[in-house]
Amino acid sequence: VRVWVERLLRDGVVAENVLFETDADGTVISEAAAPRPADAVGLTFAVPGFGNAHSHAFHRALRGRTHEGGSFWTWRETMYRAAGRLDPDSYRELASGVFGEMVANGWTAVGEFHYLHHAPDGARYPAHAMEMAIADAAADAGIRLVLLDTAYLSAGVAGEPLSERQRRFSDGDAAGYLDRWHALRSALAGRSPLVTLGAALHSVRGVPRDAMVAIVAGLPADVPLHIHLSEQPAENAACLAVHGLTPTGLLAECGILSPRLAVVHATHLTEADIGLLGAARVHAVFCPTTEADLGDGIGPAVEVIEAGVRLALGSDQNAVVDPLLEMRGLEAGERLRSLRRGRVEPAALWQIAGAGGYGALGLPAPARVGGPLDLVELDLGSTRTAGAIPVQVALAATGSDVIRTVVGGRVVHDRSDAAPIAARLARSISALLDA
């Protein structure tokens, strides 16, 4: 496949007349300055694809329904109600719509942090039905998926048992999770070139200390590993009370901090936590629109970057699905907490949302030789972007400025056909929550 880009913004500079060529899997095998060949897809202005490093697809159903009052913990109540009603068929429909919305807004890859494994009573579905529903939804939408299959075994830092409503999340113990994970890996092999399997520990609340150690030891060393970390001060307080350590300190003591680890949120960190995360070269996934919506707080982005952490962005609860708004949210948070401008410069915002997200998912950087040919064509002539310098479009455009999305060298979305995605979302959310 050949894709030609008239103007490509990458690493903060615009290159002109860039011709990419891929192998059969959509991996870039060559890149050169050349005139547009007659048989190549031609994009006017494009950037490397955006990697959404943290998503819970089904939370999308709560958008526009949970914004009145309450706290993180009351939001979670509504989330559990939606979670309790999903089955493989309804999940496939909903996730197809959500992944379609992501592609339409420029996310070309997603890490789905998935723990709805079993039936509501905890019984196993045959043939990994929930996981396959997500994989099929991604293939249907044309998005690159890293399924972050999640261990969720306990309800609190002291190993409290899961409630009735959380039963469908659980594999019982570390061995049960590892058995299912390895079987899932075999079942997913060859299913779609867009789908790979990663792993996750829900949090220091969701997986007891010994189980975390056993799970990490039982996973292949090259698999990306994610965990929610210090999203809420209450988690830190509970962890200190039980273990005498912060959640980051506990991960360090268990030997889990490593370059393959991505910590999600990392909002409430101590200076010592930041030092540990940076020294281990972990990835951190900030989710600015979610952290604002849930009242989580503003994470120390500049401090973690300076310590050596590699930053990425995620849409998390999917109340907002728009990489450009996450980029802007990251920089806005920095400005609001520091009372200064230019904390994360536009060129760095593009890098964080693009290659940063891919890296956190264990994927090679997009739109480079050796990486997937994932690109986003942006409109520089909209009411939002007209007159802007390309690199600063980071702080001007929204997902509505995405004209076409390319994944693996193939155009998977054109903005002239977004209506079916919206109709699908409306149908599946109404069936889930209004029935």
Where in the sequence numbering do the catalytic residues fall?
A: 265, 316
Residue nearest to Zn ion (CB): 316
Smaller CB separation from Zn ion, 135 or 262: 262
CB of 285 to Zn ion, least distance (A): 9
291 vs 316, beta carbon nearer Zn ion: 316
**Distance of closest approach, residue 316 Cβ to Zn ion, in angstroms:** 5
With respect to Zn ion, which residue has the nearer C-beta, 118 or 226?
A: 226
* Minimum distance, C-beta of residue 151 to Zn ion, in the bound complex (Å): 14
Nearest distance, CB of residue 54 and Zn ion, angstroms: 6
Closer to Zn ion at the Cβ: 198 or 409?
198
Q: How far is the CB of 372 from Zn ion (least distance, A)?
A: 24
Give the span between the Cα atoms of 197 and 181, in whole angstroms: 9
User: Measured between alpha carbons, how far is 411 from 428 in angstroms, rounded to an integer?
Assistant: 25
| Total residues binding Zn ion (CB under 5 A) | 1
CA–CA separation, 269 and 304 (whole Å): 10
Stretch that binds Zn ion, among 7-15, 74-82, 311-319, 391-399 (CB under 5 A): 311-319
Residues 6 or more apart from 191 whose CB is under 8 A from it? 132, 135, 139
Q: Please identify, among the stretches 161-169, 240-248, 308-316, 368-376, the one whose residues bind Zn ion according to the rule CB under 5 A.
A: 308-316
Site string for Zn ion, 313-332 (x = CB under 5 A): ---x----------------
Instruction: Report which of 241, 237, 166 is spatially closest to residue 207, judged by C-alpha positions.
Output: 166
Closer residue to Zn ion in complex, CB, 73/241: 73
Which residue, 70 or 275, is less far from Zn ion as judged by CB? 70
Q: How far apart are CA 429 and CA 290, in angstroms?
A: 19
For residues 344 and 334, the answer to whether their CB atoms sit within 8 Å is yes
Report how far residue 321's alpha carbon sits from residue 116's, in angstroms, rounded to the nearest whole number.
21
3-state secondary structure of 365: coil
CB of 314 to Zn ion, least distance (A): 8
- Any residues with CB less than 8 A from the CB of 257 and at least 6 apart, and which? 248, 251, 276, 277, 280, 282
Interface with Zn ion by CB under 5 A: which residues?
316
